Amino acid sequence: MTQRSTAQSSTTQRVVLAYSGGLDTSVAIGWIGEQTGAEVIALAVDVGQGGEDLETIKARALACGAAQAVVVDAREEFAAGYCMPALRANALYMDKYPLVSALSRPVIVAHLARVAREHGASVVSHGCTGKGNDQVRFEVGLAALAPEVTVFAPVRDSGMTRDKAIEFAAAKGLPIDVTAKSPYSIDQNVWGRSAETGHLEDIWEAPHEDVYGYTSNPGLGKQAEEIVIGFTDGLPDSLDGRSLSPLEIISELNALAGAHGVGRIDMVEDRLVGIKSREIYEAPGAMTLIAAHAELENTCLERDLARFKRMAGQRWTELVYDGLWFSPLRESLEAFMIAASKNVTGEVRVRLESGRAVVTGRRSALALYDYGLATYDTGDMFDQQLSKGFVELWGLPSKIAAQRDRKAAAS
Ligand code: ARG
């Protein structure tokens, strides 16, 4: 998809810009040129954000003055290499946020580093502000993958405010509709959608319906629906008996569960930079998959492995949120979770109804659930007499400690 350029003089510096096609990064193309004298290579990475097609975005980058525009369809790569590990970890930051934006940054970083190298660029640029997590994720990732490049962030480092960007676009006659700008800061990909700013900054104010883009209003009373998701070794590979790729499963569930309003999240979140912020997320596919996957783990994982995996998954989630995708601990925890997922194979039935994805059934040839041990009916194989001695020994240490404390209190 990329092509080597031949026309530039060898003295012209090159900057690779992470380009979204929106106002800020469109203005950044010309802005970077004016500030640094470098030529700009715009890189647009498709992580399933939908909206405009890549050719339209490419044309806009060139019209805004990019020397070259490179577009990459990274949807399968993102789904298989980033969303699936997050699912394996049941990744929910602060028990709520499925890492939507945090997951897409490392795949964009991987392509930024590659394109910078292929085009001999010494600078990489992004449109992040200095108040968010995304600047950290871009720059910490780049430091790991392309330590030779420096970073230029026009919004953060050279005063490219929203007002100045609009002014710049008008003065240069850039082909961007500045009035089309939404009041919210939106970031979306196949794993979900995040919205910030506007009225959401009043944390008492309920989100207006126009914030949402991936889900219908769960209050609309759509008829409930049941689906069956199949997993092999912890990864989903079928929906209602049809074999599908990770990208296909996530996309289909986004549509199916989104229509029931599943996966709307309203939270105050702890950013890495120390700020608390109000976020609205929508992740219908991700939340349905996590609910199903976690329940299959409950069925198939041995108790201590399951307890430890929950801790490992939480740590994995924090590392990814905190911009440390390319770190030895994230990679090592992942190796553990792949090993731990070996027997997580089977099917889960999920009911989609009024904003909820509820597991109503699970089956697996590798289940550790044993009817003979669990039943209270005839056929009970569990020897209840063994419990008597077990309970006594289990409570022995705390019983002795309590005796000691009582004695001490009495004397
Ligand atoms: N707060 C979320 C995160 O740090 C979402 C960031 C969304 N980014 C954006 N440019 N709107 O992962």
Q: Maximum Cα–Cα distance for the chain, whole Å?
A: 92
188 Cα: distance to centroid of ligand 1 (angstroms): 9
Cα(348)–Cα(340) distance, integer angstroms: 19
Cα(99)–Cα(247) distance, integer angstroms: 17
Gyration radius of the chain over CA positions: 25
Cα(408)–Cα(138) distance, integer angstroms: 59
Cα(346)–Cα(296) distance, integer angstroms: 7
Cα(342)–Cα(301) distance, integer angstroms: 9
CB contact set of 318 (below 8 Å; sequence gap of 6+): 93
pLDDT at 233: 98
Mutate to test the pocket of ligand 1, among 96, 194, 319 (most ligand atoms within 8 A of CB): 194
Domains and CATH numbers, the chain: 3-181 (3.40.50.620), 186-301+343-363 (3.90.1260.10), 371-405 (1.20.5.470)
Cα(147)–Cα(123) distance, integer angstroms: 11
Atom of ligand 1 nearest to the CA of 101: 12
Q: Which residue CA neighbors atom 6 of ligand 1 most closely?
A: 101
Contact 21, 61 (CB under 8 A): yes
Q: What is the DSSP string of 41-103?
A: EEEEEESS--SS-HHHHHHHHHHTT-SEEEEEE-HHHHIIIIIHHHHHTT--BTTTB--HHHH
- Joined together, the tokens standing for residue 361 give 């059934």
Active site residue 105: yes
Across the strands, what pairs with 17?
42, 125
Q: Which residue CA neighbors atom 8 of ligand 1 most closely?
A: 187
Kindly list the protein residues whose Cβ atom lies closer than 6 A to any atom of ligand 1: 101-102, 133-134, 185, 187, 194, 196, 269, 279
Active site residue 351: no
Residue among 24, 46, 187, 322 flagged as catalytic: 24
Dihedral over Cα of 199, 202, 205, 207: its sign: positive
133 Cα: distance to centroid of ligand 1 (angstroms): 7
Q: Which residue CA neighbors atom 9 of ligand 1 most closely?
A: 187
Active site residue 117: no
Atom of ligand 1 nearest to the CA of 185: 11
Q: What is the DSSP string of 201-218?
A: GSTTSPPPGGG-SS---G
Cα(235)–Cα(256) distance, integer angstroms: 19
98: burial class by Cβ within 10 Å (0-12, 13-18, 19+)? Answer: buried
- Sheet with 14-18: strands ordered across: 68-73, 39-46, 14-18, 123-125, 150-152
How would you write the pLDDT of the chain (411 residues) with one tens digit per residue? 444 444 444 567 999 999 999 999 999 999 999 999 999 999 999 999 998 999 999 999 999 999 999 999 999 999 999 999 999 999 999 999 999 999 999 999 999 999 999 999 999 999 999 999 999 999 999 999 999 999 999 999 999 988 899 999 999 999 988 776 688 999 999 999 999 999 999 999 999 999 999 999 999 989 999 999 999 999 999 999 999 999 999 999 999 999 999 999 999 999 999 999 999 999 999 999 999 999 999 999 999 999 999 999 999 999 999 999 999 999 999 999 999 999 999 999 999 999 999 999 999 999 999 999 999 998 899 999 999 999 999 999 999 999 999 999 999
pTM across the whole model: 0.94
Active site residue 364: no
- Joined together, the tokens standing for residue 161 give 């405010």
100 Cα: distance to centroid of ligand 1 (angstroms): 8
pLDDT at 11: 63
